[in-house]
Each structure stands twice: as C-alpha cells, then as structure tokens.
Amino acid sequence: MVIESPIDILYYNLLTIIVEEYEQVLTTIEIAMTDLEEKSQYQPSKKILVNLEGVITSINYP
C-alpha cells in the first residue's frame, strides 16, 4: 500500500503510537495477572484474592 498524502502519514503514525502504547498496557496487565495468579495458587490470602479481583474488575470496566 502506498501512502500518498500527508494526512495518511499522520493517520498511520498516530495509529502506530496508539497500538504500541496499548500493547505495553496489555503486557503490564498480563505480568500483574500472572504474578497474582501464582501467588494465589501457592499462598492464597484474602489480600491477594482482592487484588486479583481488582485487576479483573478494572479490565472489564467499560
């Protein structure tokens, strides 16, 4: 695909930035979830389960 106008270049650059930032957010959430899941399996405590529930709730927030 050939980009012909400056507005197309701007659009694709903005889209790239948004996708890259979103990917970083998802990676951070994935790491946090994995850590909380491991802790809840080996050392289940109310605090860990509440933290896990909080992360899940924030992900599902519309």
In this structure, are residues 40 and 48 in contact, taking their beta carbons and an 8 Å threshold?
yes
Tens-binned pLDDT, residue by residue, of the chain (62 aa): 565 788 888 999 999 999 998 898 888 888 888 888 888 788 778 887 787 778 777 776 55
| pTM for the model | 0.56
In this prediction, residue 18 carries a pLDDT of 93
- Which residue ranges make up each domain of the chain? 22-62
In this prediction, residue 60 carries a pLDDT of 66
In this prediction, residue 20 carries a pLDDT of 92
Q: Measured between alpha carbons, how far is 6 from 8 in angstroms, rounded to an integer?
A: 5
In this prediction, residue 25 carries a pLDDT of 84
